Structure 1
Amino acid sequence: MRAALLLLLGLAACASPVSSQEVVRSERAAFRVADFATGLERPWGAAFLPDGRLLVTERPGRLRIVGRDGAVSPPVPGVPEVVAQGQGGLLDVALAPDFAQTRQVYFCLAGAAGGGVLTRLATARFSADITRLEGTTTLLDATPAQSSGRNHYGCRIVFAPDGKLLLSTGDRYNDKMRAQRLDDLGGKVLRLERDGRPAEGNPFVGRAGVRPEIFTYGHRNPQGLAINPATGSAIEIEFGARGGDEVNRLRAGANYGWPLVSYGTDYDGSPIGTGQASAPGIEEPLRYWTPAVSPSGGNFYAGGAFPGWRNSLFVSALRTPGLVRLTMDGDRVVGEERLLWGRTRLRHVLPGPDGLLYILTDETQGRVIRLEPVN
């Protein structure tokens, strides 16, 4: 019995999650994983303040400020009201490009409207002491609202180099064809002015029966948006069904195929749309995964702490849980590496001002973990 107990303890130790003492060696770097902040409930989005503190959203509807020492603040007052059901809640947060002067922040969330729920873009301003939000305002609702289903909100925000705001919206799951309808804001990437109006130069402005906010369409559940610093291109990361997850370069007016074509199948194994992976007039992904990795947020790395990772696109994965590093040559994907695979569901990843990599874990007792280099 003693021998059996020792064996079980040894197996448990082998299966333990990665610790700050474990050195992980990747193709181009060696690092340790440290818990930077703990006690967060389903953290979803994050943005660094100019002073190095970190804003983190919790899906149930709270915003926290994480200090440079990892201390987590009480909930920040003044956040927009959310519908925290299913995959919905308070999702992404982004700083205005001129935050240092305006203290303006943007939120993407699941909001109630017209007896249903939809993806909503809202904005607010921090008080001068960065302790509370003031003047919270809805800028755009991704109509029509849907009375059933609480899935597929998309809900990632990024500012393009020209200052325009890009917002991803999901197809809301129950009616896949919303992604193809151009009078419907579901299943799209929208390009907006900072006040929520359609951005100047959008591809469908002035076309009858088409929403002028639309930049691209044919998306399922785009939970990642990032700007490639090497090219200025907008890159979208899309959660597929049973396979068919995608990384796409966004091109104005392009159709990305959902649900007409897909590299995956539906959850019951049935074909999606035509049953084909591609078709004329449909934009091809830069990268796709079958089987699925269930990607969520992603970001490019351009820091100094990990020179071998510069210009890599990091993608957080939920199932199989882990971190995907894509080696990029301009906007081409030329390599892939999987890190921390099978450890913990990861919701979002972003580089810090200190050059380190910060990752949100998708857990009830959620964390912000930090990758630190080992020489």
Structure 2
Amino acid sequence: MLTAASAALVLALATHGQTNAASINAGNHATSATQPFQVQVISQFDTPWALAFLPDGRLLVTEKPGSIYLVTQSGQKQKIGNVPRVAASGQNGLLDIAPAPDFARSSLVYFSYVEPDTGGSRLVLARARLALSSGSANLDDLRVIWRQTPGGGGGQPGGIIAFDPKGDTLFLSVGDRMQPATAQDEKQARGKVLRLNLDGSTPQDNPNAAKGGIDGQTWTTGHRNPYGLAFAPDGKLWLHEMGPKGGDELNLIEKTKNYGWPLVSNGDEYSGAPIPRHSTRPEFAAPLLYWNPVIAPAGLVFYKGAMFPQWNGSALIGGLRVQSLVRVSFDSQGQPDEADRWNLKARIRDVAVAPDGAVWLIEDNNPGKLIRLTPRQ
């Protein structure tokens, strides 16, 4: 339930022509006292960044310094060879990983990373065939299918991969690389969500495909630091991104929309300088849910499974700052609201759902835990 203050905020946004937004602040949602799950630590890694399940139930886990592991659900780890060199510092390094929609046939995996570049670094999207034989695991036929051009910039790379429900195209989140103005530059691959064919080319039905280049690949713009991108069961695409000092966002992603960064935000500059709110610029798409103070969201998955049927359709989000797992539910109109926040005393970097419905998490730390959540007995 929203507090009276939050309800007033929603009304104020609506009167400015904005999409209604629920605001989560310290008074709205206390940490859920009773955890409906038991926590099992399965293994540990060096600063793990992403995890993804293969059809047979094994996991792929990336480490930010530059390693990928094939992991069984009992915790046995096998390091995968032929991983390219990455530029690992700060927020940059080896990032997301996702099996292709047809992995059972093709054995292809897609992964993102920040590579060294003259004078800096750049975000890269690559794909390769996961070759398993005689106890070895390697990335074969590796191909870079997209490369951020020009390179340079700081952290906030984004790099989250989401395949459309039909498996025909993919979406890639690209952060502003700590160069805020570039999020509004249509010629810069920063602060954008891109839509690509599975080979990295531009889909001809993209809104601006005829323009080519970054214009042709861009689906939405005006994003800051997007570390969560996933399709809901109804086929809608959702993205969360970290705000500056306040204003973490959960956005419904709709083609051609501009989400406003850095011209508007529900947070302020780290210096304390104010940033105009979404309510002042109705031409920009406003978040449907935002957090003050921040949770530092990382990882996003929509739950579907038998172990926690009460969560079906909910979004599960890792919280770095709040060291929690956050569950977001949706009402009959599709409006999101925070339903639960479970304090795990760990910076949760990514969330995934196993074929059996268990929820798996990784901790942003070194060593960082691989955790399995199952219903409390």
- For the aligned pair, the TM-score class normalised by the smaller chain equals 0.7 to 0.9
1:139 maps onto 2:145 in alignment: yes
Asked if 2 retains the 8 angstrom alpha-carbon contact of 1:204 and 1:210, the reply is no
Q: Superposition pairs for residues 78-93 of structure 1, below 5 Å?
A: 78-93=82-97
Q: Deviations over 1:156-214 (max 9, x none)?
A: 001011321100000001x2011111111111000000111112311122238862111
Q: How far off is 1:139 after superposition?
A: 0.9
Distance 2:213 2:204 in 1: 18
Which of structure 1's runs of 4+ aligned residues deviate more than 4 A? Answer: 275-278
Q: Superposition pairs for residues 224-373 of structure 1, below 5 Å?
A: 224-229=228-233, 231-272=234-275, 274=276, 277-329=279-331, 332-341=334-343, 343-373=345-375
Partner of 1:25: 34
Q: Of 199, 217, 221, which residue of structure 1 is paired with 2:225?
A: 221
Partner of 2:48: 43
| DSSP-derived class of the 1:212 partner | helix
Q: How far off is 1:224 after superposition?
A: 0.4
Distance 1:120 1:293 in 2: 27
Partner of 1:11: none
Distance 1:367 1:330 in 2: 36
Partner of 1:125: 129
Q: How far off is 1:236 after superposition?
A: 0.5
Report 1 or 2 for greater relative contact order, CA contacts < 8 Å, sequence distance ≥ 6: 2
State the identity %. Answer: 40
Q: Deviations over 1:66-110 (max 9, x none)?
A: 11212222x210112210111111010011111111111111111
Cα 1:244–1:236, aligned 2, differ >3 Å: closer, same or farther? same
Q: Superposition pairs for residues 150-169 of structure 1, below 5 Å?
A: 151-162=155-166, 163-169=168-174
TM-score calculated relative to the size of structure 1: 0.87
Distance 2:203 2:96 in 1: 20
Q: How far off is 1:128 after superposition?
A: 4.3
Partner of 1:10: none
Q: How far off is 1:112 after superposition?
A: 2.3
Partner of 1:65: 70
| DSSP-derived class of the 2:142 partner | strand
Asked if 2 retains the 8 angstrom alpha-carbon contact of 1:41 and 1:363, the reply is yes
Gaps (5+ residues) in structure 1? 1-22
Distance 1:62 1:371 in 2: 25
Distance 2:117 2:332 in 1: 41
Partner of 1:18: none
Distance 2:340 2:364 in 1: 18
Letter in 2 for 1:185: A
Gaps (5+ residues) in structure 2? 1-31
Q: Deviations over 1:299-334 (max 9, x none)?
A: 010101011111110110111211110012367234
| DSSP-derived class of the 1:226 partner | strand
Q: What is the total number of aligned residue pairs between the two structures?
A: 343
Letter in 1 for 2:193: V
Q: How far off is 1:25 after superposition?
A: 2.6
TM-score calculated relative to the size of structure 2: 0.87
Cα 1:310–1:209, aligned 2, differ >3 Å: closer, same or farther? closer
Letter in 1 for 2:366: T
